Structure 1
Amino acid sequence: MALLVAGAFFMENLDATVIVTALPDMARSFQATAVDLNVGITAYLLTLAVLIPASGWIADRFGHRRVFMVALAVFTLASALCAGSQTLWQFAAARVLQGIGGAMMVPVGRLAVLRNTPKSDLLIATAYITWPGLVAPVLGPPVGGFITTYASWHWIFLLNLPLGLLAMAFTWKLMPASAGEVEKRPFDVLGFVICALTCAGLLYGLDKLGQNPRDWHPYALLATSAVLLVAFYYHARRTPAPLLKLDALKVPTYRVTFNGGSLFRAMVSAHPFLLPLMFQLGFGYDAFTAGLLVLTLFAGNIGMKPMTNAVLRRYGFRSTLIGSSLVLTACTFFCALMTPATPLALILPTLLISGMARSMGFTAYSSMAFADMPQPLMSSANTLFSMTQQLAFGLGVAFAVIFLRMGESILGVDHDTLGSYHIAFAAIGVLTLLSMLDLWRLPANAGAHVTGHAAN
């Protein structure tokens, strides 16, 4: 079941990133500009952010298997509609429908795994589920470029059809039909609206801020989101049956994952976005060479996976996360020093080690999130985790764009230069360091009953 959910997660994340390299071809098909195609990416991400908060309640109300199968069906149908789109707005509408399926797919699948996995097997199950979040953003651009070059952009979406049907068949066989013994509660409509507007305003505001930092509209959106976030906090505290039970944040291991872990995931997601652009626009490499270099991150991700559980059992969550964050920070700062004269003998090992650190930290944070979570809070904790994880992916790219624009402003240029990428990587390195602040307060044996680590 964990592998099934991992497959769905991979399909969803790949779909979110694979179209980036296909935008010029798609724009020609729709008789639009490549920039106009951003509406398809934004519509998908905003739909995910808006609807994920409702996924926990829907799974508890209608059952894991039923909701997961419907989500797969919607996602598969929307993929067919994306491939058959004749206009830009048809494509945008199909992407919204695809986002509806994606918002229910992974959170509900993860919840089913968490509810049916003993604590002793949680590390292995979480490792299966989390690796697609690291692999798909790295594989997406080169895969999209290959499909677009040797077939057509339509196949990016058509390939989801057999995968979706196969996943539905396995869901019927492997996933429990009911949600189990869970608390039945009414749907928190007001909380859902406030939370959805907060997430949408945050993502859209940062996206617009990266495009034009001199415009006042993004700042107004971000200020409104901050006010709505405070309103949601007080609403959740005073409502008998809130959409998200914030009691999960009282669990120390979960709180660390929510705070510093979200910042870590955001910085991790910025690397696959910045590196291909720096190699092409800063180093002058062609798209194929840049894609091959970024695939070194993928090799690090995969190479680290067989060692992840052994490292966690040997060193525990706290030491492993501190070590991973320090290694990733060092690699990030080295990226801020790379130039076309830097030998590949230094670039490739740096990217490989960076991928290993990303994989180790990502898996450790995801496993620690639910290590101490009591069953009554599992659904709400999973929904909150899924929402913040999706936001972190979007925020990482948004911050990367903002840091690039900041670099251009500091250097006094109006276009991408190698120096602006160096400034962006330096800023990401600083934020990666800041993500570690929560870790120092964790006890050395945090989550030991999951890792089997015995602190000295």
Structure 2
Amino acid sequence: MKKTITVPNQEATKKMLPVILATAIFMQMLDSTILNTSLSAVAADLNESPLNMQNAIIGYVLTLAVFMPISGFLADKFGTKKIFIFSLIIFGLGSLCCSLSTNLTQLVLSRMIQGVGGSLMTPVGKLALIRTFAKKDLLNAMNFAIIPALIGPVLGPLVGGYMVDYLSWHWIFLINVPMSILGIALSLKYMPDYRSTVIDFDLRGFLIFAAASLALSIGLELFGSEVYVTPALFVLLLGFMLMYFYYRHARSDDNPIFPLNLFKVRTFRVGILGNLVTRLGISSVPLLLPMMVQIAYNESAVVSGWMVAPMALTAMLGKSRVIKILRRFGYRSTLMINTFIIGVLICCMGLPLVSQSIYYYIPIIAILGFFNSIQFTAMNTISIADLRLYHTSSGNSLVSVNQQLAIGFGVAFGLIVLKIFQGDVKVMTEDIHDAFRKTFWVIGILTICSSFIFRRLHEKDGLNMNT
């Protein structure tokens, strides 16, 4: 089903492949958030309203979600090494184009070029990792490579704020160029070149699934504004209809891009659903907390970035403990209890009044980073634990697409809830802070409820990943 075209030194590959993947994940996750604290500076330089600058963020996220499904096919046909290096080149060129943009249209198009590169980088890198390591070693490798997925969203607003204040907004994109070059150099020497003998591509299925993902994402974005409620409902309905059409298509097609029998694997099914629902709450916190610090507490963007910085340190601590925790308690108990704890911590962020110090949030964020790291590692590894070899490409690609959509849905969901509670009151600081508090309660309770999804796991699920 697959063969290795190029096999670098096996031991060297196993040492360097997680580093290469970690570099790619870091660039992708950093770029997903680094623009957040820089929007005002970029808008002023491009003579645009900060509200219009949201298109630069949306364009990047949607491009990631739309093009990720094709990553598995391209890797199988042209080889993981060629596609991974190609993705780094495209991402680096897109970053350079972003820094050279002179108007919003150029910036949005450049961000979409970045998105094309990013949509291939992480899934193809993970696929190479899965095919290189035995299941008993995969958790350790994935555990190391996924650390940047936790650090990137934390450092993004902080790095963006400092670069805008002390350099210029162009550097938030130029920083990716040397990192891309480093990734290319390492990949030329250490990236294995796996490919598959199956070269059929489900173009129709890809177009239907991509259109459905695009419609659902745009629908949720539009839902955040009362002006676009009716169009948002229509676009969401269209997205669900397209998902149904894909289901009908996948049932009849001999080689669909995402085979329906993937969902016959219970651990994959639970992992996908748990990832989607759990991230609705988790993904909105890194956006809502800095917004609250700036709007309700009138602090600077740099201060708001520092507020979430402790999450990175405790995330690394969590990574050092997650394997022992999973071996002792198993995936089922770990995910149920861990998700519940995360939900409670998010609810605690809604307890203090605006008169209390912002430093109240620091220990909560620090503890949250520890449990988030356990959550992401456990969900990602259990999703692929029982996949057959011939399903690794499509299954890994779908996990990546689902994760990206879940992050986008989570951010949109958090903003929608905040909009509902905020209502028409936009002047009184105390009322705005109260809206943030209620939003944290809602997403926290949702996260607590999502813990019951992992009850579908069995006590022995995932044990082959730890032995």
TM-score by length of 1: 0.95
CA distance in 2, matches of 1:425, 1:404: 9
Q: Which moved more, 1:378-387 or 1:283-292?
A: 283-292
Q: Does 1:448 align with 2:463?
A: yes
Partner SS, residue 69 of structure 1: helix
Aligned residue number for residue 220 of structure 1: 234
1:303 CA drift (Å): 2.0
1:343 CA drift (Å): 5.4
Q: Does 1:373 align with 2:387?
A: yes
Which letter does structure 1 place at the counterpart of 2:237? A
Among all aligned residue pairs of Structure 1 and Structure 2, give the percentage whose two residues are the same amino acid: 35
1:28-86 CA distance string (max 9 Å, x none): 22111111222211111111111111111111111000000001001101111111111
CA contact (8 A) 1:316 1:451 kept: no
Aligned residue number for residue 35 of structure 2: 19
CA contact (8 A) 1:268 1:396 kept: yes
Partner SS, residue 139 of structure 1: helix
Show the 5 A alignment for 1:152-167: 152-167=168-183
RMSD over aligned CA atoms reads 1.6
CA contact (8 A) 1:257 1:365 kept: yes
1:311 CA drift (Å): 1.0
1:198-232 CA distance string (max 9 Å, x none): 11111111011112366300010000001111111
Q: Does 1:36 align with 2:48?
A: no
The counterpart of 2:312, out of the listed 298, 303, 327, is 298
CA distance in 1, matches of 2:32, 2:189: 28
1:387-418 CA distance string (max 9 Å, x none): 00110111111001101011123xx6256701
CA contact (8 A) 1:261 1:435 kept: no
Aligned residue number for residue 413 of structure 2: 399
The counterpart of 2:69, out of the listed 28, 53, 70, is 53
Aligned residue number for residue 350 of structure 1: 364
The counterpart of 1:413, out of the listed 415, 425, 432, is 425
Partner SS, residue 82 of structure 1: helix
CA contact (8 A) 2:153 2:286 kept: yes
1:248–1:80 CA distance, 2 compared to 1 (3 A): same
Which letter does structure 2 place at the counterpart of 1:436? S
1:116 CA drift (Å): 1.0
1:101 CA drift (Å): 0.8
CA contact (8 A) 1:185 1:241 kept: no
Partner SS, residue 187 of structure 1: coil
Aligned residue number for residue 81 of structure 2: 65
The counterpart of 2:128, out of the listed 105, 112, 124, is 112
Which letter does structure 1 place at the counterpart of 2:443? I
Q: Which moved more, 1:276-285 or 1:3-12?
A: 276-285
Which letter does structure 2 place at the counterpart of 1:368? I
The counterpart of 1:255, out of the listed 234, 255, 269, is 269
CA distance in 2, matches of 1:212, 1:130: 37
- List runs of 5+ in structure 1 lacking aligned partners: none
- List runs of 5+ in structure 2 lacking aligned partners: 1-16
1:342 CA drift (Å): 4.0
1:257 CA drift (Å): 0.8
State the aligned residue count: 448
Aligned residue number for residue 453 of structure 2: 438
Which letter does structure 2 place at the counterpart of 1:359? S
Q: Does 1:208 align with 2:222?
A: yes
Aligned residue number for residue 3 of structure 2: none
Partner SS, residue 130 of structure 2: helix
CA contact (8 A) 2:76 2:199 kept: no
Partner SS, residue 386 of structure 2: coil
Aligned residue number for residue 93 of structure 2: 77
Partner SS, residue 376 of structure 1: helix
Partner SS, residue 178 of structure 1: strand
1:340–1:302 CA distance, 2 compared to 1 (3 A): farther
Which letter does structure 2 place at the counterpart of 1:16? S
Aligned residue number for residue 311 of structure 1: 325
CA distance in 2, matches of 1:389, 1:27: 29
Partner SS, residue 259 of structure 1: helix
CA contact (8 A) 1:283 1:339 kept: no
Aligned residue number for residue 299 of structure 2: 285
Aligned residue number for residue 5 of structure 2: none
The counterpart of 2:398, out of the listed 368, 371, 384, is 384
CA contact (8 A) 2:344 2:448 kept: no
Partner SS, residue 200 of structure 1: helix
